[in-house]
Amino acid sequence: MIASLTGTVTARDERSLTLDVHGIGWRLFVGPKTLERFPVGQPATLTTHLHVREDALELYGFGGLAEQRLFEKLITVSGVGPKVAMAVLAAASVEDIEAAIERGQAGVLTKVSGVGTKTAERIIVDLKGKLASTGQNDDTTLSSVIDALQNLGYTSKEARDAATTTEAGQTVEERIRQALKRSGRTK
């Protein structure tokens, strides 16, 4: 439906931002990491997911495709709605959440408000083995991006943080350019 939006952030609250796209203000529900990345007055491009309910249409925004894909997989699990999925995404990086699911580490998920033991186990049962499809080639690409950023003077943490904000499915070079642009460093 609406795959992505590019515009200027005009307003923010604790769980959403308003993105002005050619005079139309789109309210996007976002996680805290995405909210931090896009201050008011700055341009932003977010991938989106339109969640349709009987009584509402809600647009969720993400800083990258990996985050969006995990969100969309999480909401397929019975008992996990968009708010819980966003809380899970806020708890750790996409890679850490996927690794916890693949390893069957329910404890990582139960730390999230709204996720009890039964829900965490259901997430693991439903998604284990289904997350690797995005992982193999992207893991190799992500590692290459992290290595390149470290060679440019980034610390290990800075390189990982910058690399994980890039969109999966792109070449190493595209992801490096994206990471440099988003981090504001041009070393």
Judge whether residue 180 has pLDDT over 90. no
Structure tokens at 116: 């009890």
Q: Which fold has domain 4-62?
A: OB fold (Dihydrolipoamide Acetyltransferase, E2P) (2.40.50)
Q: What is the distance between the alpha carbons of residues 114 and 134, in angstroms, rounded to a whole number?
A: 26
Confidence of residue 40 (pLDDT cuts 50, 70, 90): very high
User: Which of these CATH numbers, 3.90.79.10, 1.10.150.20, 3.30.70.100, 3.40.1160.10, describes 65-130?
Assistant: 1.10.150.20
If one compares 174 and 77, the residue with the highest pLDDT of the two is 77
pLDDT of residue 140: 67
**CA nearest to 27, candidates 67, 60, 63, 75:** 60
Q: What is the distance between the alpha carbons of residues 172 and 158, in angstroms, rounded to a whole number?
A: 17
User: Which of these CATH numbers, 1.10.8, 1.10.10, 1.10.357, 1.10.3470, describes 133-183?
Assistant: 1.10.8
pLDDT in tens, 91-120: 988 988 998 999 999 998 999 988 999 999
Calculate what percentage of the chain has a pLDDT beyond 90: 56
Task: Please list the alpha-helical segments (H only) found in the chain.
Answer: 32-37, 65-74, 82-91, 94-103, 106-110, 117-127, 132-151, 156-164, 172-183
pLDDT of residue 139: 63
Judge whether residue 16 has pLDDT over 60. yes
Token match 């988003």: residue?
A: 182
Q: Name the pTM for this structure.
A: 0.69
